Amino acid sequence: MPFALPFREKPAADRPRPVRVGGRVHLVRFVRVRRARRYVMRMKPDGTLRVAVPPFGSLGDAAAFVQSQREWIERERARVLRAAAAQPPRDEIAALRRRAKRELPPRLLVLAREHGFTVERVSVRNQRTLWGSCCRRKASISLNWRLIRMPDEVRDYILLHELAHLRHASHSRQYWRLVASICPWYRDAHRWLRRHGSLL
C-alpha cells in the first residue's frame, strides 16, 4: 500500500492559491477528498478552480494536473463568461422568483400524490449551491427558484429527486432504484444539468 505524504500546508477550501496557467493567473482551491480516486477539477461561477485531491495525491501532482488542463480551463472560462452574460436583468429575476413560488409547490404536490409521497411543507428559496433539499423528519422540501428556468422534464426530475429522499436519505442503490422507477429519464436530465445548469 502506498504511503501518503501530507501536504506541508493543509489544503483549505477557504484559501485559494494563485496558479499561472499559460499567460493567465487563476485562483485554485486544492481540497483533499477522501473518496476521490483521481484529480478532478471544476470551475465555479466566480471563475475559481476547485481541485479534488485523492488521499494519496500530492500538492505538486495536483498543481501539475492543473497545468495539464489548460485547454479545458480556457473552455470553462469562456462558458462562465457566457453564463454571466446570460443572467437576466434584476426585474426579470424578481418576476421569475414570483412565478417559481406560484408554480413549483403545486407541481411538487401533484408529483407527490402521483407517486405516494406525503409532503408537509414546500418552500422556494434563493439557494446558491443546491437545486433542492429535503428534511425527512419534517417531510419538508426546499426548492431553488431557478428551477423555473429549466425544461419541464429536468425540473420534474429534480422534484422527484427530492421526493425520493423522503424514503432514502442518502444516494444509496435503493435510492437510485427508486429514482429510476419514478423518473426513467433521469440520466437525460443529469446530462442537461451538467451542460446547462451553470447558465441558470
Q: Could you read off the pLDDT of 54-90 as tens digits, one per residue? A: 998 888 899 999 999 999 999 888 888 877 766 777 7
> In this model, does residue 9 exceed pLDDT 50?
no
Question: Given this model, what pLDDT does residue 86 score?
Answer: 66
Walk across the sheet containing 17-21 and list its strands.
17-21, 24-32, 49-53, 40-43
Domains in the chain with CATH codes: 17-86 (no CATH), 90-199 (3.30.2010.10)
Number of neighbouring beta carbons within 10 Å of residue 141: 27
pLDDT top residue among 76 and 183:
183
183: Cα within 13 Å, side-chain hemisphere? 24
Neighbouring residues of 70: CB distance < 8 A, sequence distance ≥ 6: 21, 22
Number of neighbouring beta carbons within 10 Å of residue 49: 22
Neighbouring residues of 92: CB distance < 8 A, sequence distance ≥ 6: none
Q: What is the mean pLDDT of the chain?
A: 87
Amino acid at 111: L
